A and B are shown apart, each in its own frame.
Chain A
């Protein structure tokens, strides 16, 4: 009876399951497994419900290539996810719905790849037209709220150093874009020299897309922001509050708007939103208790990192430190603070307190077909 349900009905039942429940359900019988493999399960319509929130994926920054750790927000539990299907250790660049854009760490020239750690898939993107080292990378997801297995997206690569015509290296001024719809790279514009230098030397490979603009934060004191307006091909730079006092600063997109999270020594961590005229407005402060708990007795915010999804902001440190979370509640327009316990053990086994880099992911068990 139940093992013969038509796929469309079964897929509907599965759409109400959280990713870990689905992973166990598919191990029940072959028919149910086939359904997960061959019939895309639409989760877009229940995006903010408990079972379809984005999951925080923690990738160890050292000892790469073995495992990553993923936090299940439904039951507040950590899972161990094996990365043994990766041939080379990788570093995350950005998340694209259900996938992560990564770059292999053993390669100086930029190479990018797509990875779905739940379906254990890894696929290199074609190499860009211009070979460059250390550029800044920006990602724009084109589907709005699908989080399906095959999202449409664009990757922008700016800055970096490439080979000069007469030997040696030079700052690369051509801006390249990869379009997933035709699986090709195109040169789409230029980067003014001063921005190219900053993008190469002072920008970790992360960007935030908001309202048609790709933003990068320079990581040196004093912090500042660069923005590339995609349609107008315009570059601009502007400052951030307490730019020379911040010990950590991260850009993210919240409710569609550019948001800055930063902490200054001896003070609280704050959250600002970008307003008209490139000015910042303070919207929230991290509760003192939680901030102190995360700092673990230290006074400096320097080791704190931050990452965000549409509906949450996570401040974290190492794998076992725990996380401070600011999250949108089920009744929208209300955000609340939570503490998430760090990962100390999984399945009875101790987990070392590793330094990590976090990304958000919407787990999808349906294999991508790029």
Chain B
């Protein structure tokens, strides 16, 4: 029982010092290595991480250590929700968390943050990705045309401007999708594909029916409600309200 009360001191790039339990700190493979191979009594410098970020990271590590050790009564679903809320941060923080998780070698946090960024990329056209992440398009016109031509197949289902695919929605989620009225929208919720058929016919309706594509031909189709709002020039904003029955 002695080892659980061992504390490790960590000093950040902005000279803040954190004292944490060893079990929490060694979630970071980097810290673990330094602790086991260096001087266990002195302070470990985490040069590339600021105090704010390290504080958040330590919250994450503590939650996961306590949950795994049974110190906290939390179900896997609740932990999953906690993780989902953990990454609901502004982009700068998310960026810093990724780099810190990479540098500190915390595999599960790196997976979580990278998956979050990937979710922000999925289904988007390059223009939309650039807007989301404030990325400058540094291609020459010829180079960009060449890349698009080589990857032409991935653009053909979008059929127009501004189609977005929303993936991995939790049950009872409100979610938003912007699309032009000529294309089809595919929404994937909890591994069930919900497909909207020919929304070009729906421009004048207040609400549209969304049909769930049944996994098994004998399960009944479930109708959900969708509200839509015209945002001008052939674009509509759709709000989905789901209750996914498994």
Interface residues of A (CB under 8 A from B): 1-3, 5-6, 8-9, 12-21, 23-33, 50, 70, 72, 74-82, 118, 120, 287, 289-290, 330, 336-339, 346-348, 365
Contact = CB atoms under 8 A, between A and B. Distances in A.
24 contacts: A2-B91, A2-B133, A2-B134, A8-B102, A9-B99, A13-B121, A14-B118, A15-B114, A17-B118, A21-B123, A25-B126, A25-B129, A28-B129, A29-B139, A30-B143, A33-B147, A50-B188, A75-B123, A77-B186, A338-B215, A339-B217, A347-B157, A348-B159, A365-B151
A255 B69 CA distance: 35
B137 A9 contact: no
A1 B154 contact: no
Contact of A79 (B124, B154, B193, B195): B154
Interface in B115-158: 115, 117-119, 121-126, 129-130, 133-139, 143-144, 147-148, 150-157
B165 interface: yes
B215 A336 contact: yes
Contacts of B99: 5, 9
Contacts of B110: 9, 12
Contacts of A78: 157
A75 B186 contact: yes
Given A24-B124, A29-B137, A70 B159 contact: no
B122 A18 contact: yes
Interface residues of B, number: 51
B98 interface: yes
Given A13-B114, A13-B117, A30 B122 contact: no
Nearest to B130: A28
A79 B154 CA distance: 7
Given A24-B151, A28-B137, A346 B114 contact: no
B213 interface: yes
A25 B156 contact: no
B191 interface: yes
B137 to A, nearest CB: 6
A79 B152 CA distance: 9
A219 B98 CA distance: 55
Contacts of B135: 2-3, 28-29, 32
Contacts of A25: 121, 126, 129
A32 B117 CA distance: 14
Contact of B156 (A3, A29, A346): A346
Nearest to A32: B135
Contacts of A13: 114, 117-118, 121
Given A24-B125, A29-B135, 4 more contacts: A15-B114, A18-B122, A80-B153, A347-B157
A24 B157 CA distance: 12
Contacts of A6: 102
A20 B155 CA distance: 8
B233 interface: no
Contacts of B186: 75-77
Given A338-B215, A348-B159, A76 B195 contact: yes
B136 A29 contact: yes
Interface centre among A25, A81, A118, A287, by most B CB within 10 Å? A25
Contact of A9 (B114, B125, B153, B159): B114
B156 A27 contact: no
Contacts of A330: 191
Nearest to B98: A9
A336 B214 CA distance: 12
B146 to A, nearest CB: 10
Interface string B194-208: 010000000000000
B121 A30 contact: no
Contacts of B159: 347-348
B217 A79 contact: no
Contact of A81 (B123, B153, B217): B153
A76 to B, nearest CB: 5
A1 B151 contact: no
A346 B157 contact: yes
B80 interface: no
B151 A23 contact: yes
B42 interface: no
A9 to B, nearest CB: 5
B3 interface: no
B151 A347 contact: no
Contacts of B154: 19-21, 23-24, 79
B198 to A, nearest CB: 12
Contact of B153 (A15, A79, A336): A79
B219 to A, nearest CB: 11
B102 to A, nearest CB: 5
Nearest to B101: A9
A1 B157 contact: no
A30 to B, nearest CB: 5
B151 A75 contact: no
A28 B136 CA distance: 8
